[in-house]
Amino acid sequence: MKNGWMIRAGNSGRYFDDFEDSKCVGIGWNDLGDLRQYTSAAALREACIHHFGNAKPGRTANAVAMIRKFRDDIQQGDLLVTYSQEYREYLVGEDQGQYEFRSEQELVGEFASIRKVKWRGRVSRDQLSQSARNSLGSVLTLFSLSSDVINEVEDRLAGKPVSEHTPIADTPSVEAEFDLLREEVRSKGHELIKDKIQSLDPEEMEELTAALLRAMGYQTRVSARGPDRSVDVLASPDGLGLTQPRIKAEVKHRNGSMGSVRHKFKYPTNKPYRRESQTRQEAANYFANRPLCRENVLIADSSYSEGEYQCSVTMSAH
């Protein structure tokens, strides 16, 4: 049976599109040069220490292990997977058995050491079982996948539904330094929080929006079920709507990534003003600091982009 490997496309999957477009995956440590020149683990370790130091021996050992896996252990036909936090999707393909070291002008993202891949398709993180998500959640640059995870990814590619009753074995972890483990816990925590938000129903999403506004210093009131005239949450500094700014929020909930988001603002002069994508707090703070605004209307969307919670916002002042 073929093996499976998870290979990170940089922090938060920022080189995901580069991997897909160039039909390859890559790893860093470019200063080591062509990895085929190191004939033993000892020689590779000495080169790592020479170029990157050895302040944390555990991290050096991890680097050597991952480099050797990328160069030697991955074989033609193995399943290769990478992930994008922005799209919340896994890109799945087969290794073509070709390791290359590329020049600075031919880098894939920021990576010189690459392997050719034949991409087969994408799998949404939301289509996988919770056990498989946990197994794929490590922040290590490269790690092997269990046969159960491989089978589940293959099933999703084939369009078969997920079965939560199928046990997924945990991926064996590589011994790591404390800071690496801390980063892994942080990254997994972010993904689990996003999974939880995606599963909220409309009423729960309204409560979450109200809680976010309260965390920003507003007092809020959630509209009762029924006709609400597009106002799901009403927020103001005093809770009565007598002080400015008054924020009316219409909350919409959908699956998928945000893509390009625009916030359209209209001043009391009716002069239009447009800004590119911002977080909810940046947009709300902008209006909270404008004393001339008498009333604001905010429309929030629960999608994600680049690993942070973002919203589609429209505000107008009368």
Identify which of 66, 6, 12, 22 has the alpha carbon closest to the alpha carbon of residue 41. 66
pTM of the model: 0.55
Between vectors from CA 220 to CA 214 and to CA 225, what angle results, nearest 5°? 130
| pLDDT single digits (tens) 173-191 | 444 455 556 666 776 677 7
pLDDT number for residue 246: 80
Under CATH, which architecture does the 202-316 domain have? 3-Layer(aba) Sandwich (3.40)
pLDDT number for residue 282: 60
* 20: Cβ contacts below 8 Å, ≥ 6 apart: 91, 119
| pLDDT single digits (tens) 20-68 | 999 999 999 999 999 999 999 999 999 999 999 987 888 898 899 999 9
pLDDT number for residue 273: 37
* 315: Cβ contacts below 8 Å, ≥ 6 apart: 263, 264, 265, 266, 283, 287, 296, 297, 298
pLDDT number for residue 174: 45
Q: Per-residue pLDDT averaged across 56-81, rounded? A: 92
Q: In what order do the strands lie in the sheet with 89-101?
A: 24-27, 113-124, 89-101, 79-84, 4-7, 142-145
Kindly indicate the confidence band of residue 160, based on its pLDDT and cuts at 50, 70 and 90: confident
User: 186-193: which pairs have CB atoms within 8 A and are 24 or more residues apart?
Assistant: 187/137, 187/139, 188/134, 188/137, 188/138, 188/139, 190/85, 190/307, 191/85, 191/125, 191/133, 191/137
Kindly indicate the confidence band of residue 281, based on its pLDDT and cuts at 50, 70 and 90: low
pLDDT number for residue 46: 95
The DSSP letter of residue 161 is P
Identify which of 30, 29, 28, 132 has the alpha carbon closest to the alpha carbon of residue 81. 132
Domain ranges (residues) in the chain = 4-198, 202-316
Residue 110 has pLDDT above 80, yes or no: yes
